[in-house]
Amino acid sequence: MDYKLQVGVQSHLEMGPLDDKSMHDLDDKCIYSLEMDAQKTQSTDSNEHVSLSGSLPVGGNKRIRNGVYKSIKTVVFSNKLNLLMPFGPLAILVHKMTAHNGWVFFLSLLGITPLAERLGYATEQLAFFTGPTVGGLLNATFGNATELIISIYALKSGMIRVVQLSLLGSILSNMLLVLGCAFFCGGLVYHRKEQVFSKATAVVNSGLLLMAVMGLLFPAVLHYTHTERHAGKSELTLSRFSSCVMLLAYAAYLVFQLKSQNDQYVPIDEEGSQNEENSDDDEAPEISKLESLIWLAIMTAWISILSDYLVDTIEGASDTWDVPIAFISVILLPIIGNAAEHASAIMFAMKDKLDISLGVAIGSSTQISMFGIPFCVVIGWMMGREMDLNFQLFETATLFITVIVVAFFSAGGHVELLQRTNAYSLLSDSSCKFLRTRRSFFNQ
């Protein structure tokens, strides 16, 4: 535009002096040229803006697809245990086609196993965004969600005895099988040294276990001594009252550990000082907060669906396999439901991290006894089911002896050697540290 203007002026100068009319025409041409250039520039900018704005939805959809693919890859395909996930839909398919209760029960058990582990993973990821207090409460709530979901469906079906035996089996398997295997395997690996653990955490959990056993003992004693004033009613009333007290005590225990004892959960170095640098070196969330909530809802819903099939086929599987329901409830349901946590607890003991193993075994038993069992009593109360704390004489005596043995064992911890170990005190079975560390075992 400037070049054309200079050429036009030069031509007029060469032709001679211009009159006023010629100068006016020249000004009009210059103004017209400027307006045309401005319109061209504006139209070009508008076209570029339209093209860019038109390309945004395409890029946004691509980012959404990539995010969904990355989330599925992280949650579903990053764990070898998830190879058992197809057994869940297979159980539903077998139920629809053949109604073979034995196979449906077995396939449902296998399908629930990876879902229980992924439920803990989603809870762990959500805890990154909620802070330590809310994260600890989430871990405490969803730590044994699988057992609670199965128990709720069993209560809905009126299978009160299955609920009692499955919860009892969870406590016994954690305190006897898991803890015993952890000490045995750890002793095989470190047979030339003495493995030590934090006494304080074990003593607190053992005290809560004794309190829970006391709550279970009173209704059984009341029943078998025939001292009830109203047959059947006094026992149920005492169970419901004891359950409310146990839930309040467990809530106070959580508040105490989350608010007052934050420093307990920091590793202790060789000199006995707490070392916060090595506790969570490079821990970062692998999925976003929204993804964690979505996966938490998906896993919970899928576990609920499979639990419904599982509960409906327990009696049929017992008849098909000629296996007592008590064996299925006490042995199979607890072991399969917590297989991932049991295996990781043994691996931690083999890595000389006995405090984590104790947190898995004793912490999980504490949570079930102080929260799971009273919660089921209250839920049964709301459903109109007469769920009580009378676990029969033999089962109650077995639990009492087990807790006493573990309590005396943990109370005899090596206090003088505590300064020489990296002690990790855990909130419960599903505390943040355990959930973040166990992932490495299954991803190997």
Using the predicted structure, report yes or no on whether residue 321 has a pLDDT greater than 70.
yes
Helices marked H in 16-86: 20-75
pLDDT of amino acid 154: 92
pLDDT band at 64 (very low <50, low <70, confident <90, very high): confident
pLDDT of amino acid 226: 79
pLDDT of amino acid 162: 92
Q: Domain for residue 298, yes or no?
A: yes
In the chain the first and final C-alpha atoms are separated, in Å, by 69
* 3-class secondary-structure state, position 27: helix
φ and ψ at residue 268, rounded to 5 degrees: -110, 125
Give the C-alpha distances (Å, rounded to integers) separating 162 from 100, 144, 166, 202, 328. 21, 17, 6, 29, 9
For residues 171 and 237, give the distance between their C-alpha atoms in angstroms, rounded to a whole number: 24
pLDDT of amino acid 378: 94
Q: Domain for residue 410, yes or no?
A: yes
Per the structure, the complete domain to which residue 350 belongs is given by 77-262+285-436
pLDDT band at 416 (very low <50, low <70, confident <90, very high): very low
Using the predicted structure, report yes or no on whether residue 101 has a pLDDT greater than 60.
yes
Contact 386, 380 (CB under 8 A): yes
Q: Domain for residue 25, yes or no?
A: no
Q: Domain for residue 243, yes or no?
A: yes
pLDDT of amino acid 180: 87
* Mean pLDDT for the stretch of residues 48-60: 47
The residue ranking higher by pLDDT, 129 or 31, is 129
Q: Domain for residue 70, yes or no?
A: no
Q: Extract the tokens encoding 282.
A: 């490079």
Q: What is the pLDDT of residues 176-212, one digit of tens each?
A: 888 888 888 888 888 888 777 777 777 777 888 888 8
AA identity, residue 331: I
Q: Domain for residue 181, yes or no?
A: yes
Q: Structural domain tally of the chain? A: 1
pLDDT of amino acid 204: 79
* Mean pLDDT for the stretch of residues 39-62: 49
Using the predicted structure, report yes or no on whether residue 9 has a pLDDT greater than 80.
no
pLDDT of amino acid 140: 62
For residues 89 and 80, give the distance between their C-alpha atoms in angstroms, rounded to a whole number: 18
pLDDT of amino acid 422: 34
* Mean pLDDT for the stretch of residues 119-139: 76
Q: What is the pLDDT of residues 214-224, one digit of tens each?
A: 888 888 888 88
Using the predicted structure, report yes or no on whether residue 165 has a pLDDT greater than 50.
yes
Contact 213, 373 (CB under 8 A): no
Q: Domain for residue 253, yes or no?
A: yes
pLDDT of amino acid 62: 80
Q: Domain for residue 57, yes or no?
A: no
